[in-house]
Structure 1
Amino acid sequence: MRVVAGERKGMPLKAVTGTTTRPTTDKVKESIFNIIGPFFDGGIVLDLFAGSGGLGIETLSRGASKAIFVEKDGRAFQTLQDNIKKCRYEEVSETYKTDATRAVKGLIKRDLQIDYIFLDPPYRKTEYYDLLSTLIENDKLSKDAIIVCEHAVEVSLPSNYGPYQLTRQETYGSTIISIYRSTHM
């Protein structure tokens, strides 16, 4: 695993040991950013179920101004922190070792607008996709936010979350990437 592009291009990232997390492969990561935009002019990233932090770190490398990482698993959280430090992104990163539902409750209380969300919960935990609706209902997404969901091919996500429409789906083996964008654009 490595940072694919941007200011930290080529930087190797540690993967989480064991089988509790599924890191997004470099090929899939590259494809995601080819779809949502190769580079960014600022913006806040929310990487729920961050694992080793590959997607959030990639977004920072490509120009996002801040990333919020949420990871409950202890080993994954330590790997995440190590990767952020290695990439020298401590100043623009917030890390929370907590459950995604609790993290979203905390985010709702803050004055912020999220521009990019990466949501990759454990494949059997489809109820976590409801967190998108919670964030939208509490006006936590910018009007042109981009939502990227990674899920098993057996999981069908809705055609929209509020004003954010499913605009593209790509299949990679047993994984589907679903991308939502605002219809207000």
Structure 2
Amino acid sequence: MNTAKVCQANLIATASGLSQQSNIEVIRHDVLSWLKRGCHAAKFNQPWAAENPGFNLVYLDPPYSSKLYSEVFKALLTGHWLQKDAVVICEHATNNSLETPMQWLEQDRRIYGSSALLFTNPPEQYPDDTDSKHPQTIQAK
């Protein structure tokens, strides 16, 4: 079984425990060329995509030594890939601290051994005042 099929099976199994219906599609493509096409040019196999374009959750896990992070953040915004309440989770090496992109809101950071997660929201989600910002925590496991 290839990696995409395993991912899709895991996501479907996880979503079956949720109280609301989840729409899941795993896409196998070069991330930058696919994102640069823009959300409205992408073709999905799900009918929901035409009604509510964009993602509300993105999990980014490129090779840790790659320089893809900033380019993917930029392409997510310029291609209109995100719904306004989206969360983008970036996995990275603990010893290679990932900077929060300019104007993005850092929601949380978590450390799991040699891997770490950065949770962010797109910049247009929150007004630029301190009352609307989520607390930031670092949790070691």
TM-score by length of 1: 0.49
More off after superposition, 102-111 vs 54-63 = 54-63
Change (3 A) 1:152 1:100: same
TM-score by length of 2: 0.62
Q: Match for 1:68: what amino acid?
A: E
Task: Name the residue aligned to 1:170.
Answer: 110
1:166/1:180 contact within 8 Å kept? yes
Change (3 A) 1:106 1:172: same
- Cα distance in 1 for partners of 2:82, 2:59 equals 13
Using the aligned pairs only, state the percent identity.
24
- Cα distance in 1 for partners of 2:100, 2:69 equals 16
Instruction: Describe the SS at the equivalent of 1:146.
Output: strand
2:15/2:22 contact within 8 Å kept? yes
Structure 1 residue 152 displacement after superposition: 0.6
1:133/1:161 contact within 8 Å kept? no
Q: Match for 2:116: what amino acid?
A: I
Task: Name the residue aligned to 2:7.
Answer: 53
Gaps of 5+ in 1: 1-13, 17-49, 71-95
**Equivalent of 2:64 in 108, 123, 144:** 123
Task: Name the residue aligned to 1:99.
Answer: 30
1:132/1:161 contact within 8 Å kept? no
Change (3 A) 1:104 1:152: same
2:32/2:71 contact within 8 Å kept? no
Q: Tell me the matched-pair count.
A: 112
- Cα distance in 1 for partners of 2:58, 2:66 equals 17
More off after superposition, 165-174 vs 120-129 = 120-129
- Cα distance in 2 for partners of 1:106, 1:69 equals 17
